Amino acid sequence: MIIPNKIISLEQSILGKSRYILGRLSLDPVNVHELFSYVKDKFADVNEFVLALDVLFSLNLVEITEKYEVYKNA
């Protein structure tokens, strides 16, 4: 679930789990594979991770380069 509701808490939602991605990106840019390796224990599967990354990209909070490196937008 992307957003929290009566059943899904903020911590279980994609918006809540996106903080782990942003937390890792605050250190330095990283490629997508390394990023997933770092946060994979926070997500149920790779689909949930990709959805969180997509939400962050849609909100213009991250940028993905041609070399699949992920940057945090200021």
The CATH number covering residue 48 comes to 1.10.10
| 37 assigned to some structural domain | yes
Question: Which pTM was predicted?
Answer: 0.87
Q: Report if residue 3 sits inside a domain.
A: no
Q: Is the pLDDT of residue 74 over 70?
A: no
pLDDT, tens only, 43-57: 999 999 999 999 999
Between the two ends of the chain, the Cα-to-Cα distance in Å is 26
Q: Could you tell me the residue range of the domain that residue 40 belongs to?
A: 10-72
Residue type, 41: D
Number of domains in the chain: 1
Show Cβ contacts of residue 37 under 8 Å, excluding neighbours closer than 6 positions.
Answer: none
